[in-house]
Amino acid sequence: MLLLAAACGSDESAGPAPRVQRGIRFVSGDNVTDSVGAELPLPLIIEVRDSSGALAPLATVVRFEPVVDPVHGPEALVGALALPGFTAFASGATDASGRTGALVRLSTVPRQVRIVVRVPTLGLQDTARFRAVAGGVALIELAPRDTTILSGRSYPIVATVRDRYGNALPSVPTWSAAGTAIGGTVSTSGVASATATGRYTVVATAAGVTDTVRFSAVPEATILAHDRSRGEIVTIGLDGSNRRVQTRVTDGGIGVRPRWVPGRSTVIYSGYAEPFQSVFLLDSAGTPRPFVNSRPPGISHMADVAPVADGSWVYLAAYDSNCATLEYCLHRVRMDGTAMELLPAVRGRPEQTVRPSPSPDGRRVALNTLIAGIARLRVLDVVTGAFLPLDVPGAFPQWAPTGEMIAFLEGDGSLSVVNAGGPTPRRIVDGTGYLAGRAFTWSPDGAWILYNGEQGLTLVHVLERTVVPLPGMGNLVEPSWR
């Protein structure tokens, strides 16, 4: 009995047998959180045991396979412990302790990361889990990159802060503004505004990273222009708003030069209508009709229309057999399309007389004389029929709506102004050739000139030389401002 009791007591004190571990055990390196694209400092180490709990035989093959997302691809990249580099698959062989592992590089997208671990010969599988979180600030994206607003208005700038892989971050940038004129501001939420015409920059900063956008502020005004890419005459606001097609037009090569008829809601322009370049009036309903009621004998092509401010005459250049050059020379026509005449002062001259621009009072006309393609700026006194002393190289003269100033293009594309009485021009915009061949226009107050710059239509202040490009108007040429 004592022996039996002792035996029974011995069984009770032994307790349950220890639990045998089977399958795949993650020893270290799993359940880690790090930034996107990070190479984890510690490898993923596993231990493998068979169904009996015994360590896997030496050199048992283990496969490490990241889960593949159908949009972003593998959730991670893995690498063998003894080999450099990362791929979408790696394998290892167990050592005497049943262990092996793999190096891990996390996804470049913030997400849960899964790596499936398989032991094919033992029929074992498990999943190691990690988390990739967005990284530090690497760049700021601002939109729009460049735009135009009316002076006194505002617009929102959209800012997105991203890490080096392009993942959006919740960071909020700080803002600052500067410009060519006083009055440019930006709010803490990125709303930019300006109270004066000018060119402005806005800078956003987050964690020492910056990005810059630009905008132009312009006065409220509507211009007339030729859209050369679409073959249209359009009206459009200086800020790019309210674009309206007035008519389609074909340029015969000398230019369309649309102009408003002073005091009327009509437009005058030239266009090619086989077989000649002709002048047309466009009424408020958008209906074009020939401007000259009856083409005089000897007249063929007509172009370069320029109405006088009082609406009495329209100056233009026309091919006329009565011109000594048998090419374009200066004419004028009554605003009703009658009484077309060759100006006597140019009848016998040995050069073309083109691109007229009358003075505000209509008594003088700035024009180009052309010999062998070389343009010179001259001024004709229409009343006396005499040319004034001003005689400088230059093309496309445009008389200011106020005063005695004439703007023109120099041979290198520079935009300059000169007094009608001469003698020395003053350069407003240094040229690189991009201005050549296109007309331009003054603001009604004579303070600004709108010309074709490297970025398309561009404003420049005549006295201060402040340049204000108008983004999005690169196809518009030959503007007219009223």
Give residue 6's pLDDT band: very low, low, confident or very high (50, 70, 90).
very low
Q: Which residues of 331-347 are buried (b: 16+ CB within 10 A; e: fewer)?
A: bbbebebeebebbebbe
**In angstroms, how far apart are the furthest CA atoms of the chain?**
152
Q: Given this model, what pLDDT does residue 469 score?
A: 94
Q: Inform me whether the pLDDT recorded for 3 exceeds 70.
A: no
Q: 100: closest CA among 20, 24, 39, 31?
A: 24
pTM listed for this prediction: 0.82
Please give the radius of gyration of the chain, using alpha carbons only, rounded to the nearest integer.
40
Angstrom distance (rounded) from CA 81 to CA 67? 20
Confidence band of 1 (pLDDT split at 50, 70, 90): very low
Q: Are 362 and 308 in contact (CB under 8 A)?
A: yes
Contact 215, 200 (CB under 8 A): yes
Phi, psi of 215 (to 5 degrees): -150, 155
CB 468 within 8 A of CB 238: no
User: How far is the C-alpha of 177 from the C-alpha of 85, rounded, in Å?
Assistant: 46
Reported as a pLDDT band with limits 50, 70 and 90, residue 8 is very low
Of the spans 4-13, 191-200, 277-286, which averages the highest pLDDT? 191-200
- 433/370 Cα distance (integer angstroms): 19
Query: Model confidence at 439, in pLDDT bands (50, 70, 90)?
Result: confident
Q: What is the pLDDT of residue 16?
A: 59
Q: What distance, in Å, lies between the first and last C-alpha atoms of the chain?
A: 126
Pairing, β 374-381 against β 364-371 = antiparallel
Q: For residue 2, is pLDDT > 60?
A: no
Bridge partners (DSSP) listed for residue 139: 162
| pLDDT attached to residue 331 | 97
Return the ∠ at Cα 368 (arms to 363 and 373), rounded to 5°: 170
> What average pLDDT score do residues 260-267 get?
91
Q: % helix / strand / coil in the chain, to the nearest 5?
A: 5, 50, 45
pLDDT of 222 higher than 50: yes
Residue (of 424, 404, 422, 479) closest to 449 by Cα position: 479
pLDDT tens digits, residue range 207-220? Answer: 999 999 999 999 99
Q: How confident is the model at residue 7 (pLDDT cuts 50, 70, 90)?
A: very low
pLDDT mean over 389-412:
93
pLDDT at 75 over 90: yes
3-state secondary structure of 366: strand
- Give the whole-angstrom CA distance, residue 123 versus residue 245: 74
Q: Are 131 and 113 in contact (CB under 8 A)?
A: yes
State how far the Cα of 200 lies from the Cα of 22, in Å rounded to an integer. 69
CA nearest to 375, candidates 403, 399, 353: 353
Any idea what DSSP says for residue 55?
A: B
Domains of the chain and CATH, by start = 24-133 (2.60.40.10), 139-218 (2.60.40.1080), 222-481 (2.120.10.30)
Residue 15 has pLDDT above 60, yes or no: no
Q: If pLDDT is split at 50, 70 and 90, which confidence band does 474 have?
A: confident
**Sign of the dihedral through C-alpha 480, 347, 418, 405:** negative
What is the pLDDT, as a whole number, of residue 337? Answer: 95
Residue 295, pLDDT score: 87
pLDDT, mean over the chain: 92
Q: How far is CA 23 from CA 103, 305, 431, in A?
A: 21, 92, 78
- Structural tokens at position 363: 């008594």
Strand pairing class (168-169; 191-194):
unpaired
Tell me the pairing of strands 467-469 and 456-461: antiparallel
Spatial contact of 120 and 56, defined as CB atoms under 8 Å apart: no
The three-point CA angle 448-454-455 to 5° equals 80
Query: 337 Cβ partners below 8 Å, 6+ apart?
Result: 281, 290, 291, 292, 293
The pLDDT, as a whole number, for residue 435 is 56
